[in-house]
Amino acid sequence: MANAESDEPQSRSQAFPPEWPARIRALAAGELTPVVPRRAATVMLLRDAPAGVEVHMLRRRTSMAFASGAYAYPGGGVDPRDDEAHVRWAGPGRADWAERLGVEESAAQAVVCAAVRETYEEAGVLLAGPEEGTVVADTTGADWEADRAALIAHELSFAEFLDRRGLVLRSDLLGAWTRWITPEFEPRRYDTFFFVAALPAGQRTLVHGRGPERTEADLSVWIRPEEAVAGQEKGEMVMLPPTLATLRALVGHPSAADALAAAARQDLEPVIARARVEDGEVVLTWPRHAEFTTRMPAAEPGRPAD
């Protein structure tokens, strides 16, 4: 694994959460009300390297309530303050993004803002510049770290940050790739839009341990998609299905620019897992992703199936 730094031993791959069968039974029996998913965005940040395109990944701290110990991309939930705020913007507008993402214009703005904001918060990479066609060359320094910490703490909105810095968001540097919605039986649910973006010239991801103390990751790594897939298959890297699926989709793209161009052809029909009880087992399936089909005992040990 290339360019990794960590303060904990490597996590091992793991099976799906043991509480899933009970929650699925409760949902089927009408005893569980699905949580409304929160909109979110995540960015597959890419760079070109001698051995091929690499993607930036983070390992979530084991203390996190959602997907603890799993490898993921920079990302997080939308900030309601970004729905209607005046955001300094360059590239495709709200109407264009609303059509591409299949949501209303205010939601499209919030999702795109979340993608750019979370990439800066979690990776220190900022897809913004002083004017259209430009991008910030360097985001290091104590003043940048102070602003990043204020964003993470929700003390500063993204629109306020851009205004303070005299920057415009570069929506043209993003490409929408896919959309996954957390299954209905999960206690925390997200309606997540996955984007691709290339690492801007001159910028670099922040080395682990030098950012704000409230960062959600304990390790960051640049890694080739095929290497990450192999790491999951060997049990060396824990990943949720959306992460593994997107990594597999990135394999074969010779450059970050090629992957970004391919984003326009990607299907954004939401992927959401479905569960059914069949022959004493819970069968979990993901539309268009038969490789993730999972079978689990429908009953707890010592308890007959319903």
Q: Residues 188-232: pLDDT tens digits? A: 899 999 999 999 998 999 854 444 444 566 788 999 999 999 999
What per-residue confidence (pLDDT) applies to 271?
96
- Whether 289 maps to a domain, the answer reads no
Residue 8 lies in a domain: no
Is residue 50, in this structure, part of any structural domain at all? yes
Look at residue 301 in the predicted model and tell me its pLDDT. Answer: 47
Q: Stretch 113-136: mean pLDDT, rounded?
A: 95
The domain total for the chain is 1
Would 11 be classed as within a structural domain? Answer: no
End-to-end CA distance of the chain: 45
Which residues span the domain enclosing 68? 34-268
Q: What is the pLDDT of residue 20?
A: 79
233, 235, 248: which is closest to 288 by C-alpha?
248
According to the model, what pLDDT value does residue 289 have?
A: 93
Position 173 scores a pLDDT of 98
Over the chain, what is the mean pLDDT?
86
Q: What pLDDT shows up at residue 143?
A: 93
Is there a domain that residue 284 lies in? no
Residue 21 contacts residue 294 (beta carbons within 8 Å): no
**Binning pLDDT at 50, 70 and 90, where does residue 279 land?**
confident
Asked whether residue 114 is assigned to any structural domain, the reply reads yes
Q: What is the DSSP string of 120-185?
A: HHHH----EESSTT---S---SHHHHHHHHHHHTTSS-HHHHHHHHT-EEEGGG-EEEEEEE--TT
Q: What is the pLDDT of residue 196?
A: 98
Residue 24 maps to a domain: no
The CATH code of the domain that includes 62 is 3.90.79.10
Can you count the helices (H) and strands (E) in the chain? 8, 15
Q: Is residue 182 part of a domain?
A: yes
Q: What is the mean pLDDT of residues 289-299?
A: 83
Of residues 206 and 184, more confidently modeled: 184
> What global pTM score does this model have?
0.87
